[in-house]
A = this chain, B = another copy of it.
Amino acid sequence: MADADLVELAKRRGFFFGSNGAYGGTAGFYTFGPQGAALKRNVEDAWRDRFTLQEGNREIEAPTVMPEAVFEASGHLDTFDDMLVECAECGSSHRADHLVEAVTDIEDAEALPGEEVEELIADNDIACPTCGAELAGLDVEDFNLMFATDIGPGDGQPGYLRPETAQGIFVEFPRLKEYARGNLPFGITQIGPAYRNEISPRGGLLRLREFTQAELEQFIDPEADEPPLDRVRDVDVRLYPATEQQAEDGDYLDTTIGEAVEEGVIGSPWVGYYLGVAQEWYERIGVDTNRFRFRQHLAGERAHYAADCWDAESEVDGDWIEIAGFAYRGDYDLSKHDAYGDDSFTVFKRYDEPKTVERATVDPDMSVLGPEFGGDAAAVAEALETLAGRDPDAFEGDTVTVEVDGSGGDDAREVAVDAEVANFSVETVTENGEHITPHVVEPSFGVGRTVQTLLAHAYETDEVDGEERTYLSLAPEVAPRDAAVFPLVTNDDRLVALADRVAADLRAAGLAVAHDDSGSIGRRYRRQDEVGTPFCVTVDRDGIEGDGPETVTVRERDSAAQIRVPVDDLAEELAGLRAGGSFDDLLDRYETVETDVETE
């Protein structure tokens, strides 16, 4: 399938389209139409079911606007930049690293210093893609990708639209750990908008300025907690390890999660566990496993805090796109907020048995230190205390030497203190536990990219009754609608009334139902095929005439096979199919209908 076909179908049938078309469009922003919003929501619900409910995790919902202090701590304020070059002629903005990559062999120009990129632009005579003017000699600037705003008037504070939902979780860790009653491991999830003010947004649902993330932050004690790896040990996965990517004849590694973790291909068992859960989940919602892989980040690609990182990638229109990331983030996030914030981002880890430990301490005689060091006396006492913890042996001689910053901005200097004045001693104390900073394992999913993958992998064409058709073979669990209901003809009030009643009954049973009475049945089937509706229910005369119970025909989308089902059983059967039941079972249990009804 060509990408253009899918984009056209997405727009025509209400999956997604560029926003604000009446005002010339706004690059990087897409609106999900009725079909797309339903598909996206079903993907989110399926994710919630698997990654929150089934795992016993907790989901929160934090604001999208956050104050600057959060991003000072997280590092986004300083480092969440792309390389920007603005054309002096036409004023258009471009990713400088992408321009360089397009005309050189360099694969990761973002890793180069700005000056080097400026030189490469000059050396390669790179021109503005918009107007063709020379870009040589222009500055390459760091452009921060966060959308900035002001919270409150006048005395307000700078704020930013969050670049990832994760920060809304990390920043509330002091409270979230209370809800877990201080026990590790626990997982917090969030599904919601995130924002990146991209310099050059791409088309479709790739690289949007506003997008939806589904993130899980798994907080663990790295020394004690292990994932329930048995649950996914036998899950088959296609891995693309860093070593294979760098090898000349590198290839995929088709293996199981259990083997990959045992052999160290996947470094962290927690990352391995979530790769397995994700593999099963992607299969469940309809990703084509032949167009799917887990690719390990190369060393240079990883954020500096990420010990091991894998991306889930899907093939869409010939390109591999990242649709999720699985990172072992260590204690980076919580340590930063612990250092910058006013609250504690640690948990108290109780020992199995209380430990008796020796602790060196001092109790300096201030009546001596005061007269001797004046304004520096307190600093000297503190330095002694620090030294006692670090090097108790230092107190064995007659005098102890410590370094203090002088008061009033004087330079640091060494001072000698009489050992007796320090009052050094070693106490025996009983400790019940210690404060530890949990580590974080983060599966992070792009919802829009998942939606785009599902559409691309579900897009099919075939021939039915001699006519070519396009259909989306979406899994019933995620299809925008569960069923469509048609009266075969609209000039028979009995059919119209029954179709209305059937649609209302299905809706009351919680199913998302379309009702369509416009055009031939064949056209109505095609319309539903194009939006991936798995089952079409047609109310015809055969179903209401005769002595038996009222019946309707149910047509399965992919096979175009039809069966006749009593109206009273319909809601339950469709609910069963939505929950993963097989249409083949119904083919066995109900009368099959010849498909020439289509041409009526």
Contact = CB atoms under 8 A, between A and B. Distances in A.
A518 B182 CA distance: 12
Given A23-B342, A27-B152, A152-B197, A34 B53 contact: no
Contact of A510 (B31, B38, B49): B49
A92 B154 CA distance: 8
B29 A153 contact: no
Interface residues of A, number: 88
Given A70-B23, A148-B150, A60 B37 contact: yes
A536 interface: no
Contacts of A193: 64, 193
A66 B155 contact: no
A152 B147 CA distance: 9
B38 A59 contact: yes
Given A26-B67, A59-B38, A179-B14, A153 B31 contact: no
A519 to B, nearest CB: 10
Number of copies of this kind of chain in the complex = 2
Contact of A60 (B26, B32, B342): B32
A19 interface: yes
Contacts of A27: 152
Contacts of A150: 147-148, 197
B175 A62 contact: no
B34 A179 contact: yes
Interface stretch (A166-174, A284-292, A462-470): A166-174
B19 A56 contact: no
Contacts of A341: 22-23
| Chain A interface mostly | mixed
A20 interface: yes
A210 interface: yes
Interface in A43-71: 49, 53-54, 56, 58-67, 69-70
A172 B31 contact: yes
Contact of A22 (B62, B148, B337): B337
Interface in A377-407: none
A501 B337 CA distance: 38
A122 interface: no
Contact of A31 (B40, B56, B168, B198): B168
Of A149, A175, A508, most buried by chain B (CB within 10 Å of CB) is A149
A341 B24 CA distance: 9
A172 B19 contact: yes
B86 A21 contact: no
Given A175-B33, A179-B33, A64 B64 contact: yes
Nearest to A73: B23
Contacts of A148: 149-150
A153 B63 contact: no
Contacts of A31: 60-63, 168, 172
Nearest to A508: B54
A502 interface: no
Contacts of A54: 507-508
A148 B512 CA distance: 37
Contacts of A64: 64, 193, 210
A343 interface: yes
Contact of A171 (B23, B40, B188): B23
A561 interface: no
A154 B143 CA distance: 10
Interface in A1-46: 11, 14, 17, 19-24, 26-34, 36-38, 40-41
A20 B171 contact: yes
A231 to B, nearest CB: 11
Interface in A313-371: 337, 340-343, 345
A133 interface: no
Given A29-B63, A34-B179, 5 more contacts: A19-B168, A26-B63, A37-B59, A56-B515, A151-B197
User: Top 4 nearest A-B pairs by Cβ distance?
Assistant: A22-B341, A34-B58, A22-B343, A32-B61
